[in-house]
Structure 1
Amino acid sequence: MGNGAGDAHPALHLRSPTPDDGVAVFELIARCPPLDPNSRYCNLLQCSHFAQTSIIAHAENAAKALGFVSGYRVPDRPDTLFVWQVAVDEAARGTGLGSRLLEALLTRPALADCRYLETTIGPDNRASWRLFERLAKQFGAVIETTTLFESQRHFSGLHPDEILLRIGPLERIAD
């Protein structure tokens, strides 16, 4: 999938990841603080077991990933896509790539029955809050928030609270 005229990366390709993308995803997430890094093995699983619910962006003929969204269907609520991480390389920030990745993921035929999106965001991660607020507006959905994981209780005070955003129900948008 390419992007429109005027985008910062004229030959940008969005697609499902493959295991061959595992290292590029690991390196991208390492370049995107405050995202929590995962093991290389975890990234390989995201790029294989969760390929249908994840998406990667590459510039044409480039090994370096410019964007990645990992997600999975919540096991006891298959109508809900949980977005684990959204990573956008510094070179592609401010271009709307995060929004494009989420929109492309949510409009996949394989996810047509997903009516809700959930994600967690730290209270101070303003960029992520804005991204998901725009997404909710784009899909005509409301956002409900609760604290899913508490700093002291779940992270021994070493990580801020993780606020759960539940967005939905999602109105389908035309491709």
Structure 2
Amino acid sequence: MSLLKPTVNDGAAMWELVNNSTLDQNSAYKYIMMCDFFAETCVVAKDDEEKLVGFITAFIPPTKPDVVFVWQIGVDPSQRGKGLASQMLNELVQRQGAKDIRYVEATVTPSNKASQSLFRRLARAHDTNCEVLDCFSEELFPGDNHEEELTFRIGPLR
């Protein structure tokens, strides 16, 4: 398994992985843009045949230069349960481009136990805190089928 910075050529495969999962679907443009503009804070996982089997899209918020915000993590069904998401997160925080990062943040719905466990595992692996804070209430989302989003804040990272 190779963990790499994405290129624009990875965007379509990221979109397809999301399209075949339960993740929130964004436009193909979003994935291509993330690969181009935010390659330093995104990760792709490719198997021995160079097939994309996982990714992280993330960015450093302009008002929080010591934070990397994880927008989305996708793992191909063939790789689930093998620790790939944790490996990609660790790759992200260990990169030279993340040397000023002290915190990882992500929003997670209350029903998404897998993501909650993933971020708590990251905190344990780095012997640091995992704080859970209110973020976006369900009233902010159009329609009536989106749960609230809680912020998981992991850090400080050493």
Q: What's the TM-score once normalised by structure 2's chain length?
A: 0.96
Question: Which of 136, 141, 162 is the aligned partner of 2:123?
Answer: 136
Separation in structure 2 between the aligned mates of residue 22 and residue 153 of structure 1, nearest angstrom: 29
Give the stretch that moved more between structures: 152-161 or 78-87: 152-161
CA deviations 1:27-62 (Å, max 9, x no partner) are 1111221x1011000010111101100000011233
- For 2:53, the equivalent position in structure 1 comes to 66
Superposition deviation, residue 141 in structure 1: 1.4
Extract structure 1 runs of 4+ deviating beyond 3 A: none
CA deviations 1:113-168 (Å, max 9, x no partner) are 10001000110111111111000111111111122111123344331111111111
SS in 2 for 1:83: strand
Count of equivalent residues? 158
Separation in structure 2 between the aligned mates of residue 108 and residue 84 of structure 1, nearest angstrom: 18
Q: What's the TM-score once normalised by structure 1's chain length?
A: 0.87
Q: Which amino acid aligns with 2:68?
A: L
- For 2:84, the equivalent position in structure 1 comes to 97
Structure 2: state its 5+ residue gaps. none
Is 1:77 aligned with 2:73? no
Structure 1: state its 5+ residue gaps. 1-11
Question: Identity percentage over the alignment?
Answer: 39
- For 1:27, the equivalent position in structure 2 comes to 16
SS in 2 for 1:74: coil
Separation in structure 1 between the aligned mates of residue 146 and residue 9 of structure 2, nearest angstrom: 31
Separation in structure 1 between the aligned mates of residue 18 and residue 141 of structure 2, nearest angstrom: 23
Q: Which amino acid aligns with 1:95?
A: K
Separation in structure 1 between the aligned mates of residue 60 and residue 144 of structure 2, nearest angstrom: 29
- For 2:33, the equivalent position in structure 1 comes to 45
- For 2:2, the equivalent position in structure 1 comes to 13
Is 1:170 aligned with 2:142? no
Separation in structure 2 between the aligned mates of residue 104 and residue 28 of structure 1, nearest angstrom: 20
Separation in structure 2 between the aligned mates of residue 50 and residue 153 of structure 1, nearest angstrom: 27
SS in 1 for 2:88: helix
Separation in structure 1 between the aligned mates of residue 142 and residue 108 of structure 2, nearest angstrom: 14
- For 1:36, the equivalent position in structure 2 comes to 24
SS in 2 for 1:32: coil
